[in-house]
Amino acid sequence: MDETDFFDEGALVGVLTTQPLDRILDYKAPAGGCWLGAFVEVPLGPRKVLGVVWGKGRGDWDISKVRSVIRALDVAPMRDEMRSFVEKSAQYTLTSLPSMLRLATRAPGLSDPPSMRKVYRFGDKEPDRQTDARKRVIETLKEYGGLAFTLKELSEMAGVTSSVVKGLVKQDVVLEENSPRDLPFQRMEPDHGARELTPEQEAAALRLREGIESQTYGTTLLRGVTGSGKTEVYLEAIADCLRVGRQALVLLPEIALTAEFFTRIEARFGAKPAEWHSGVTMTERRRIWKMVGQGGAQVVIGARSALFLPFQNLGLIVVDEEHDTSYKQDDGVLYNARDMAVLRASLCGARVVLASATPSLESWANADAGKYERLELTSRFGPAVMPDMRVIDMRAESLPSGTWISPTMQAAVKTRIEKGEQSLLFINRRGYAPVTLCRACGEQIGCDHCDARMVEHRFLKRLLCHQCGESKPMPEECPSCKVEGKLAPVGPGVERLAEEAQAHFPDARLAVLSSDLFGSARALKEGIQAIAAGGADIIIGTQLVAKGHNFPLLTLVGVIDADLGLQGSDLRAAERTFQLMRQVAGRAGRSERKGTALMQSFQPDHPVIRAILAGDEEGFWKAEAAERQQAGVPPYGRMAGIILSSTDVQEIFDLGNALARSDGALRQIGAQVFGPAPAPIARVRGRHRVRLLVKADKTAPLQAALSKWIGQFKIKGDIRLSVDIDPQSFF
């Protein structure tokens, strides 16, 4: 920043606020002046709101009416690169600037004056009487030199109760001091806990190091089977990043579940990283937000929204499990964190590492086209090898109706139990049964507010809508024909599968892993740890188990319905099934014991099932790419979804039709519009939804055409319009 970025008191500045206004407002710089990018508090009508000095004022406002910025906040100004990131991501996703700025200021109490809290440091004295607990406190403090800790941190690190610390405070052995609430994070040591890499890992780490040291933008697709050491390799890239004095961000899906991962980072760098996700306390959020901005947090492990943190000097973004669908935000601002990571890195000269065992076709295509560098890890670390994969042809199995575990699968589970090993039965459906049918009238119980069936959850004794979360007690009688005792579950969910497994193996210890069965993220973490330690013989799980948890005793993975994901009209159905099956199969045999994956399928000759079995990833991607290229769909063409919603269904169809008729702006760029049609889920929370789909060539300036097209219409009253660039869900 130079002095031209400084505004003297009274100078006109343009302030972008987080309020839904469609323009940047003029204000006068406050007493003492302010920097470009300063976070400020400004008056807006009777209120005070948060904003950022975005540039010079426009001066097209009656100067006598221009009000003054109330004050500049005591936080680092927003950097140029962050402002362009906010602008460019808003343009890309067709989101308003204020909504984007809200994402970038998601830390409560930013404008509060810095408050104080008590911290504890060594007083350089010995206590009158030494105890083991006291010794541990003193040793901990000595080990960290002059550092101060909160009571909670110190007692946890020393493994003592807080009264032990308080006792030492009385004798001045430990000093109690007031300190600003938002403390920097402990330094991470790049050389702490470094491990020896295999030659293959070393080669990959070296390539990444060259990129980090160049301090220029570049994206690398790091591909390798589960257990090949991708994490180990990108930890080295983080170390390199620390060595050159830059910050690193690691994005993880399902962040709240990855206790194992945090332990690993701490073991590698000798300190805890900052942890950013929706489960983190408000004060911790504010601390991270501020510390990231002033360099007091070197490594952040976060959910997708961590991309909008105000890093002071970001050198590396790792997107782990880059293919994961949860990177696409599907509520509020619709963005794909993987794409935004690449955008952000390109603006600040950082590297991106996309890590996955089963990359998305998008990333595969980018690597294939030479836009991304590609690094491969081909073998698993240590003795573990990829499991044997076999299909169970369900047409040849005989099983009673209402059951799903084939005799072949049962036999395989039985062998594992006898050997003291674990089996995982996988079904990607929560609840007891996906459909509740009335045998008297044929009614399927649906949600009152959504176009979706209610799913029975037997543990909760309730019906749940997986769209809106509405729930009601399981009724005795059919809501439609009022006949009692005729409601029957149809199809399997994870709970029903557990019931069946228990019936086959009454003495086995069963664990059901489904996100809704644990009260909190912590309970889930503990559940997973208990299972990993051998606390179950059979694990029944949903998609949740496909993610990075390590179960060393697991040697059999049984997929109950490998065909499930292949139904429906999603253009990524094949890709997703392929990825999910590979990942789930990859859970088996992660340690010394060889694993087996068995997939139940009614169409064992389906090309996707065959590709999964053959393990021919390259072949699968090539075939899939050719098909998408042919159809002109992503990543070889561009798509956007326009969702209109309202409580009045006629109103949105009228608007949808009007949009479809006035498609000049789209035709100009050779784009086509389809619809309006009822959206895949035509009603959510009582609001009707229709969708238009726009398809364009890869190189067409889609965003500009879309805003011109939509801009012709005023969106009034109850109607809401949202644009979804590169929609991920089609069902």
Residues that bind ligand ADP (CB under 6 A): 195-198, 201, 224, 226-232, 381
352 has which bridge partners? 219, 317
663 burial (CB, 10 Å; 0-12 / 13-18 / 19+) is middle
Size of the site for Zn ion (CB under 5 A): 7
Q: Which helix (H) or strand (E) holds 85?
A: helix 80-93
Nearer residue to ligand ADP within complex by CB, 228 or 600: 228
Joined together, the tokens standing for residue 535 give 């606390």
- When CB distances are held under 5 to 8 angstroms depending on the partner's kind, the choice from ligand ADP, Zn ion, none that residue 467 binds is Zn ion
Minimum CB distance to Zn ion, residue 682 (Å): 12
Stretch that binds Zn ion, among 429-437, 457-465, 498-506, 554-562 (CB under 5 A): 457-465
- Rounded to a whole number of angstroms, the CA Rg of the chain reads 28
Q: What share of the chain is helix, strand, coil (3-state, %, to 5)?
A: 35, 25, 40
| 411: phi then psi, degrees, rounded to nearest 5 | -65, -40
Other Cβ atoms closer than 10 A to 368? 16
Minimum CB distance to ligand ADP, residue 234 (Å): 8
Minimum CB distance to ligand ADP, residue 182 (Å): 32
Minimum CB distance to Zn ion, residue 718 (Å): 19
Q: Which of 56, 55, 10 is nearest to 33 (CA)?
A: 10
Q: Which of residues 480-499 bind Zn ion (CB under 5 A)?
A: none
Ramachandran category for residue 37: left, alpha or beta (phi over 0 → left; psi -120 to 50 → alpha) = left
- When CB distances are held under 5 to 8 angstroms depending on the partner's kind, the choice from ligand ADP, Zn ion, none that residue 422 binds is none
Nearer residue to Zn ion within complex by CB, 379 or 467: 467
- When CB distances are held under 5 to 8 angstroms depending on the partner's kind, the choice from Zn ion, ligand ADP, none that residue 227 binds is ligand ADP
- When CB distances are held under 5 to 8 angstroms depending on the partner's kind, the choice from ligand ADP, Zn ion, none that residue 232 binds is ligand ADP
Nearer residue to ligand ADP within complex by CB, 201 or 422: 201
Q: Tell whether residue 450 is a contact of Zn ion (CB under 5 A).
A: yes
Contact (Cβ atoms closer than 8 angstroms) between residue 338 and residue 319: yes
Interface residue with Zn ion, options 316, 347, 465, 669 (CB under 5 A) = 465
Nearer residue to ligand ADP within complex by CB, 402 or 615: 615
Helix 80-93 and helix 337-348, axial crossing angle in degrees, nearest 10:
150
Joined together, the tokens standing for residue 131 give 């105890």
Q: Tell whether residue 447 is a contact of Zn ion (CB under 5 A).
A: yes
Minimum CB distance to Zn ion, residue 653 (Å): 21
Q: Tell whether residue 467 is a contact of Zn ion (CB under 5 A).
A: yes
* Counts for the chain of helices (H) and strands (E), in that order: 20, 31
* Distance between CA atoms of residues 368 and 370, nearest Å: 5
Contact (Cβ atoms closer than 8 angstroms) between residue 14 and residue 59: no
Minimum CB distance to Zn ion, residue 474 (Å): 16
Nearer residue to ligand ADP within complex by CB, 381 or 620: 381
Ramachandran category for residue 427: left, alpha or beta (phi over 0 → left; psi -120 to 50 → alpha) = beta
- When CB distances are held under 5 to 8 angstroms depending on the partner's kind, the choice from Zn ion, ligand ADP, none that residue 450 binds is Zn ion
Nearer residue to ligand ADP within complex by CB, 51 or 548: 548
- When CB distances are held under 5 to 8 angstroms depending on the partner's kind, the choice from ligand ADP, Zn ion, none that residue 449 binds is Zn ion
Contact (Cβ atoms closer than 8 angstroms) between residue 306 and residue 248: no
Residue type, 490: V
- When CB distances are held under 5 to 8 angstroms depending on the partner's kind, the choice from Zn ion, ligand ADP, none that residue 198 binds is ligand ADP
Helix 151-158 and helix 132-143, axial crossing angle in degrees, nearest 10:
110
- When CB distances are held under 5 to 8 angstroms depending on the partner's kind, the choice from ligand ADP, Zn ion, none that residue 167 binds is none
Nearer residue to ligand ADP within complex by CB, 121 or 547: 547
Q: Tell whether residue 449 is a contact of Zn ion (CB under 5 A).
A: yes
Q: Tell whether residue 471 is a contact of Zn ion (CB under 5 A).
A: no
Q: Which residues of 502-527 are buried (b: 16+ CB within 10 A; e: fewer)?
A: eeebeebebbbbbebbbeebeebbeb
- When CB distances are held under 5 to 8 angstroms depending on the partner's kind, the choice from ligand ADP, Zn ion, none that residue 493 binds is none
Contact residues for Zn ion, defined by CB under 5 A: 447, 449-450, 465, 467-468, 470
